[in-house]
Amino acid sequence: MAEADLDVLIRSIARKKNKDLMEAAKKRHGRYMAMAAKATSKETKQRYKLIAKNTVLYATAAAKRLLISADNAADSYARSMKKAAEQAPEKVAASGKPAKKKA
C-alpha cells in the first residue's frame, strides 16, 4: 500500500531531523558549559549556565513541535488518500459505466 509507505516516510524524516536538532543542541550546550567553566566571574558563569539550560529547553520544545507537525501531516496525507480511494468507486457506480482503460 503506497499511501502507508509515504506517511511512514514523512514520520521517519521527522525523526531524523529531530535527532539532528537534539544533537546540535547538545553540542551547543556543551560549548556553553565549557565557556562557563572558563569564566572568571560568578555572574558570567551563571549566565553561560543559564544559556546552556535554555538552549536544551528550547531545542526540546522545537523538537516536540517538529514531531507533532510531522505526525499531523502524515495523518492528513493518510486520511486524504483513504478518502480519495473511497471516492473513486462511487463515481464509477454513479455513472453506471466503468471507466475506459487507455491502451
Give the pLDDT confidence of 17-40 residue by residue, as tens digits. 999 999 999 999 999 999 999 999
pTM: 0.72
Q: Which three cell numbers stand for residue 18?
A: 529531530
Comparing C-alpha atoms, which of 69, 99, 70 is closest to residue 12?
Answer: 70
CA dihedral 69, 71, 77, 82 (to 10 degrees): -150
Instruction: Identify whether the C-beta of residue 51 lies closer than 8 Å to the C-beta of residue 31.
Output: no
> Which residues does the chain have with pLDDT short of 70?
1-4, 88-103
Instruction: Identify whether the C-beta of residue 52 lies closer than 8 Å to the C-beta of residue 32.
Output: yes
Instruction: Identify whether the C-beta of residue 48 lies closer than 8 Å to the C-beta of residue 33.
Output: yes
pLDDT of amino acid 54: 97
